[in-house]
Amino acid sequence: MLLRGAIPYVYGLWIVDDTAVGIVVYTEKGIQGCILNDTETAVGWGVEQLESVKDTAEPIIFRGGRNPVLHK
């Protein structure tokens, strides 16, 4: 399911198979850093961040054709 919601931070966050979390830090000059961590504490923190965004996000319903959200 695709979701759209406000992101309260200035970094990219991803979780890999619930075993690792990664962060990309952005500045006005582009990507300035990347961190990958596979500790339980870090993965738990990442899941909490993701869940906090998902709690207020709205589903994006795609009914066929070209989705303007995905093709900007």
Q: Which domain holds residue 38?
A: 3-59
Q: Which residues pair with 58 in a beta bridge?
A: 4
The answer as to whether 70 is a domain residue is: no
The answer as to whether 65 is a domain residue is: no
Q: List, for the chain, all residue ranges whose pLDDT scores fall below the cut of 70.
A: 1, 7-9, 65-72
Q: Can you give the pLDDT at residue 70? A: 62
Q: Can you give the pLDDT at residue 56? A: 84
The answer as to whether 64 is a domain residue is: no
Q: Can you give the pLDDT at residue 22? A: 95
The answer as to whether 14 is a domain residue is: yes
The answer as to whether 32 is a domain residue is: yes
The model's pTM: 0.65
Report the phi/psi class of residue 6: left, alpha or beta, with left for phi > 0 and alpha for psi in -120 to 50: beta
What would you report as the CA-atom Rg of the chain, rounded to the nearest whole angstrom? 14
* Percentage of the residues of the chain whose pLDDT score is greater than 70: 82
Distance CA 45, CA 27 (A): 22
DSSP 42: H
Number of domains in the chain: 1
